[in-house]
């Protein structure tokens, strides 16, 4: 089997694995966020990647886990992510008529919530931008097509949590999934500019906080 076909096969198997296994987990189980995001998600999402890397004879740098372009990655993600942070502050004030940043942070406090956010972002961005998008981009030799396909799969993964955990209405669910797709496009865009997954991780955290504050 040609190399490109093997990569497409690996991507397909991995994406289907995440869609099915994580989807069933969302439907059938619910653990505390700190357990779910810092232990369970890395096991389910990242463990298969190590087997794939071994199979492909590549290192973690092929996932964008590298110190190269770290500072440009931080600057770019913070610059774009500032839009999400400003949105969070503005919407928080509209909802509570004051700056109530503890509204949906939970009992663990700000630092625990930030830690969970970074853990979530790392698992998801390494999986989707570091592996799926990066590999598709190499196979298709078309950044935007790879971006669209990856972002569509990314949105699909969020359907179970939207319906079964948050129980959003049809309109709200559609809007959230559309915005999730757009975020996926933006995250892949910054990754493509830096080849460093931490650009996507930082952007992800800043995107996630409006959700934490206003869900």
Q: What DSSP string runs through 67-120?
A: STTHHHHHHHHHHHHHHHHHHHHHHHHHHHSS--TTTTT-TTHHHHHHHHHHHH
In this prediction, residue 30 carries a pLDDT of 85
Each residue's pLDDT, cut to its tens digit, for the chain (215 residues) gives 558 899 999 999 999 999 999 999 988 888 888 899 999 999 999 999 999 999 999 999 999 999 998 888 888 888 877 776 676 666 656 656 665 555 555 555 667 778 888 999 999 999 999 999 999 999 999 999 999 999 999 999 999 989 888 888 888 888 889 888 988 998 999 999 999 999 999 999 888 766 555 54
Residues 6+ apart with CB under 8 A from 28: none
In this prediction, residue 192 carries a pLDDT of 95
């Amino acid at each position: 089997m040609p190399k490109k076909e093997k990569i497409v096969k690996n991507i397909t198997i991995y994406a289907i694995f995440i869609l099915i296994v994580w989807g069933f987990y969302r439907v059938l189980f619910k653990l505390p966020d700190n357990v779910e995001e810092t232990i369970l998600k890395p096991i389910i999402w990242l463990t298969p990647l190590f087997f794939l890397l071994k199979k492909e004879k590549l290192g973690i740098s092929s996932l964008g886990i590298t110190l190269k372009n770290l500072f440009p990655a931080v600057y770019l993600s913070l610059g774009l992510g500032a839009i999400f942070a400003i949105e969070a502050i503005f919407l928080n004030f509209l909802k509570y008529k004051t700056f109530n940043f503890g509204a949906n942070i939970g009992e663990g406090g700000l630092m625990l919530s930030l830690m969970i956010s970074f853990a979530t972002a790392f698992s998801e961005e390494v999986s989707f931008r570091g592996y799926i998008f990066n590999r598709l981009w190499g196979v298709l030799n078309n950044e935007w097509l790879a971006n669209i396909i990856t972002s569509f799969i990314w949105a699909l993964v969020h359907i179970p949590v939207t319906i079964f955990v948050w129980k959003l209405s049809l309109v709200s669910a559609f809007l959230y999934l559309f915005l999730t797709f757009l975020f996926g496009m933006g995250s892949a865009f910054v990754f493509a500019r830096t080849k460093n997954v931490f650009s996507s991780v930082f952007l992800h955290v800043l995107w996630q906080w409006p959700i934490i504050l206003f869900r």
